[in-house]
Structure 1
């Protein structure tokens, strides 16, 4: 029997065992396949299993009930949803459907000479997904550190953490000195698995794979990566940025947050 002769629900079930990319390609086979691909049976499999719980913390949760599972999938890819009282955003990876989070600057403890004096909280509604960002106005050293519990991430996945920021014309000091970036599990700062690197926040030819422009108008630098086993092996991942050189004043750095996304192919 040819697969096209199977009941549509069977075709949907088979397609749901593939991937979002393969499902979209399958829709080109015939109108019968296209109808099967568009069914909730397929896209329910591709969405994170706990997406209902994640979206329950969003102000837009009720408005998404009218969307089909396919519409919801692509909405969550194109339009990150604010959760945790607007301090985090949630999205999914287009290729895999795995979970992506961005932690806003409001949840990133920033240490310097005087946080209240040298960091300005401001609104960039036309540019940022969050209600406010943090702008460095004048400081000679700084340390930024955040954390996330791995049990809210997709299991059996390699994640990378990305520092998301902008630089004003007055931020030339970040061109002269590198920042120290680190990603590690809490309690394993000195362990073999700790991921550490030094980079310039200004993109250069040598660091295009780490530091680059984003489609949303911001810049990002890869801080490091880690593997999330999931299950009972959950823990807390810490990501940090340090810039401690007292000989030069720093200003003009605008921080949106830190984004955690699955690495390609995981």
Structure 2
């Protein structure tokens, strides 16, 4: 939003509540920028009415599902509450989910804890174990001990999310130093809407794979093209790779979907690798759903 600079530019003649109302029609990012332009904007940007508009309409209902509801709702101001929800995800629904806001826009973000996911064989101690990690936002994380059938799925209803928003789902995990079975093995990720597959893609959990591929020697057959090699090269070009987050966990995008206004659809987010080779060493924190393009 382009605004002339150079001190108070006549806005001081307007009532503060009028300026506050105008700010509330912009975005959290624009309101913060405009508050640096003129003192009239700065003063109006502190109004609860501005930040009440930026908070989700159902924020009280969501916060009431948290053990810290009383403390959060007693925040000094709506602006303070807004940024607390941006910077410190809150646990809701008995710790099975976390909720936060995307700072620039105020859009809703959720993470589904590993305990709320469908993880095949997760209740069999031979294949998975449940552990507690101080760096995880949830009480438990799922550690893969040894499986050949890897399948992790989570569900969320679109009505929980912000309307008219393009979302992406991410598996949030880490790899143990002793992890194996993921170095060069692709994993299939998919998004389904109301039981209909909307997107499918190949991803790699090993975040060092791109560097390793730089040293991979591709066999060459004299006189003919190796069709398998060509197919694998095309797969790599279209594949998704994991990356490190600001909280030091890893994430890989499972897919994206658009939430329409008034939409009530069940979104299924899955990761699957069911080939015969054995895999170990992945620790799953959960699946995060947030606006597409916003890094963590």
Distance in 1 between residues matched to 2:99 and 2:239, nearest whole Å: 26
1:69 aligns with 2:78: yes
Aligned-partner SS, 2:287: strand
SS of the residue 2:71 aligns to: helix
TM-score (norm 2): 0.83
Question: 2:246 aligns to what?
Answer: 215
1:113/1:6 CA distance change after superposition, 3 Å: closer
2: CA distance between counterparts of 1:4 and 1:163?
A: 49
Gaps of 5+ in 2: 1-8, 211-236
Task: Spell out the pairing of 1:52-131 with structure 2 (5 A cutoff).
Answer: 52-67=60-75, 68-112=77-121, 115-124=124-133, 126-131=134-139
Q: Is the 8 A contact 1:185 1:238 kept in 2?
A: yes
Alignment of 1:1-266 (within 5 A): 2-67=10-75, 68-112=77-121, 115-124=124-133, 126-189=134-197, 194-203=198-207, 204-205=209-210, 210-231=241-262, 233-246=263-276, 248-264=277-293
Q: Check conservation: 1:141, 1:244, Cα contact below 8 A.
A: yes
Deviations 1:32-83 (A, max 9, x none): 3211101111111111110000000001110012211111111111100000
CA contact (8 A) 2:201 2:239 kept: no
Unaligned 5+ segments in structure 1 are none
- Asked if the contact 1:180/1:199 (under 8 Å) is kept, the reply is yes
Question: How far apart are 1:169 and its partner, in Å?
Answer: 1.4
Kindly report the root-mean-square deviation, in angstroms, between the aligned alpha carbons of the 2 structures: 1.9
Question: What displacement does 1:116 show?
Answer: 3.8
User: Secondary structure in 2 aligned to 1:49?
Assistant: coil
* Superposed structure 1 runs of 4+ greater than 3 Å apart: 112-116, 204-210
Say whether the 8 Å CA contact 1:165–1:256 is kept in structure 2.
yes
SS at match of 1:94: coil
Report the secondary structure of 1:170's partner residue: strand
**Number of paired residues?**
258
Higher Cα Rg, which structure:
2
